[in-house]
Structure formats: C-alpha cells, structure tokens
Amino acid sequence: MTETSAAQTLASRFDVGLFDLDGVTYTGKNAVPHAAEGIRTALANGMRVAYVTNNASRTGEQVAEQLVSLGMPARPEEVVSSAHVAVGLAQERLARGARLMIMGGPGLHDAVAKADYFTVVQSADDYPEAVIQGFFPEVNWEALSEVALAIANGAMYIATNLDKSVPRERGIMVGNGSLVLAVCNTTGAVPLSAGKPEPEIYRMAARFKNAENPLFIGDNLDTDVKGAVTAGIPCLHVLTGLASARDIVLVEPARRPTYLCDDLRGLNEPYPEHSRDDDGWHVVGDRRARWTGTAFELGGAQLTDPLDLNTYRALAAAAWAASDAGTDAKALAAAVPELTVRRKSEH
C-alpha cells in the first residue's frame, strides 16, 4: 500500500475518480450502501468523476439515468464503456466502410452508430470483416452460433470484455467472458479484448477527463485492479463487490490495489500512512500486524475477530511483505481464515 499523509483524503489527493459500476456504485438495480454519499462528497471536495464499465449493453444515457435514480451525480458523457474501446480497436484495424457484425445490446450498437465508420451487417453470410461481441441478457444459441460462423468465414473477433461473472441482486451471474468462451471453444479463436483488465479503457477514461492524477475505484481483482496496475493508475479497492478481504490479503503483486477501504466513504476520510518498525510490525494508524514465520499476529485482536479498517490494512501489508520475501503462498493461505471487516462504530 502506498504511504500517504495521515491528513490527506484520497478525494483531495487525486483529481479524477474513475469508478467501476457493478459492485462499486450499484449491484444490479440496487445502490451499494454509502456509494451515493461517497461520490457526492468527493465531488464537493473537488474530485471529478467518470464511470468506467465493462458492460457494453447499455448506452451512456441509460447508465447515467440509473445512477441518478440511485442518488449519484452522473451525465451520459461521463460514462466510458468497453463498447467505445471495442469500436476504437476495430477502427484502428479496418478501413472506413468495412463490414462489421455486432452481437450486443443498445450500448454497443450506439457506440458503432456514433462512430459512423462501418457498414453494419446482420449475418455471417455477409462476410463481415470483424465481429464485436458484447454482453446483453437476451443472448441465445442462435446469436452465439452466428458469431462462430462469422469467425469461420474470416472475421476478426473482438470482445468488449472477458468478465466471467457479474454481481447482481440475487448473486453472481454469467458474464460476457463466459459467453465469449463458448465461441472460443467452438472456433478456437482468441478475441481481442477491449475492456478491463486491458489498459486502454483506463487510459481512454483518463484522457477523456484530462486527468493529471487519476484514481481507479473497483471491486474485482481480475479486471478492475489488475487493469489499473497494468495501466499504471493507482487503485482503491472496496469490499462491496466480488473480492473479499481474505482475497485481498492473499493476492499476488499483479492484482494488488494501492489503497483499501470497505466502501466509498473511504474516499473522503483521512487515509493513514503505513510504516514498518524494527520488530517487523506493519503499522497503520494505531493498528499493527506482522508475520512470525508461521502465523500472523495482530496488535490487540485475533484474525477471527471482526477487524477494523486499519487492522485490515496492516494485515494486508504484512501478508504482502511476507509473500514478497518468498513465503510460500500455501503457508500464508493456511494462516488466514475468512475475514470480517467492520468499522469501529459497527462492532
């Protein structure tokens, strides 16, 4: 974790917040607790926002409408989706007027139409030069098979994203990556991917906001955090979506976030610095943790207790340092039970 002044909030340290949607601002049709409050306060403190999503099924207008209905400030032009990046990838590789087949929802169709670059075709029998596959709930065997046929006819294969799952109100459901995998299994093709964790979507969002010092906020280690690391953009992880506190503590360097919090309230609270003392204790605020070589010790707490935020941060720092020093991953995993993180006021 990066060391920051105890007096600084993340909203004051970074000029633009790039927010993931599913699992960070909302889950399905429901707002994530404290998300609206966190974003509104960050805006009031001077942070500008953009919403970055791998979901290419909806237009910017539709996304902004949902966010506003949940109490979050949003405009259509603040939404950057993998559909925009997918269209850009196709434009870079194909001449104007090239035949393009689309399998996706309104967001992808809207991005293609606004580009005004391609000749859109409906069938593999039209020999498209490329096919873009994006998530939409109505996908069926017929549509997936049409993509496979287009690829067999020579079409370049572009996927808006490769998320295997998406969080919804009822639980974790099938994502676009799982549907893409069906086509890959059929054709042997490997698609170009436009969405997270590929770095271009982060860079596009940062360019769009003229960000000098952006912060990405996400919940998914495999997409959000890994992509931010690849793009060289600091990342705040929140525990409102896919990855658990235990996942964070045990994660390898390529998927490690820069900052840790429970939810978006953390943007507007002083983020304490991390230090390590001569006895091997990792200290965050008034909390500490260390790896003894066989187990983790916490100052004044047990791993099975509900952990406050700074104990969680100290534990993650201790685990990451132990891993980086060569401690076997299986030994670390065996030493960490499922973790519960709660604020002091919620204990």
For a pLDDT cut of 90, what percent of the chain falls above it? 90
* Cα distances (Å, whole numbers) of residue 187 to 85, 154, 184, 266: 24, 11, 5, 45
Residue 65, classified by CB atoms within 10 Å of its CB into exposed (0-12), middle (13-18) or buried (19+), is middle
Q: Which 3 state secondary structure label does DSSP give 257?
A: coil
The CA radius of gyration of the chain, in Å to the nearest whole number, is: 22
Which amino acids are annotated catalytic?
Answer: 20, 22
Residue 329, token pair as written in the block = 């991953």
**Alpha-helical segments (H) within 106-208:** 106-115, 141-152, 176-187, 200-208
Q: Is the pLDDT of residue 72 over 50?
A: yes
Residue 5 has pLDDT above 70, yes or no: no
What is the reported pLDDT for 346? 65
- Using CA atoms, how far residue 259 sits from 90, 185, 267, 324, in Å, is 34, 37, 10, 18
Confidence of residue 4 (pLDDT cuts 50, 70, 90): very low
List alpha helices for 188-344, DSSP H: 200-208, 226-231, 245-249, 309-324, 329-335
Q: What is the pLDDT of residues 144-192, one digit of tens each?
A: 999 999 999 999 999 999 988 887 778 889 999 999 999 999 999 999 9
At 7 the pLDDT is 56
One of 3.40.50.300, 3.40.50.720, 3.40.50.1000, 3.20.20.20 is the CATH number of 83-193, namely 3.40.50.1000
Region 8-15 average pLDDT: 96
Q: Give the pLDDT score at 172.
A: 86
DSSP 239-250: TTSS--HHHHHT
Work out whether strand 282-284 and strand 287-291 pair parallel, antiparallel, or are unpaired.
antiparallel
Task: Determine the average pLDDT of the residues in 214-238.
Answer: 97
What pTM was estimated for this model as a whole? Answer: 0.88
pLDDT of residue 168: 79
Closest listed residue to residue 295, CA positions, set 260, 325, 321, 333: 333
Instruction: Provide the pLDDT for residue 347.
Output: 54
User: What six digits make up the tokens of 91?
Assistant: 């434009």
CATH of domain 10-54+198-268: 3.40.50.1000
Please give the average per-residue pLDDT across 115-137, as a whole number: 97
pLDDT in tens, 245-303: 999 999 999 999 999 999 999 999 999 999 999 999 999 999 999 999 999 999 989 99
Q: DSSP strand E in the chain: where? A: 16-19, 26-27, 30-31, 48-53, 79-81, 99-103, 119-121, 130-133, 156-159, 165-168, 171-174, 192-193, 214-218, 235-238, 259-261, 274-276, 282-284, 287-291, 296-298
Integer Cα distance of 276 and 165 in angstroms: 37
Summarize the confidence of residues 43-55 as an average pLDDT.
95
CATH 3.40.50.1000 occupies which residues in the chain?
10-54+198-268, 83-193
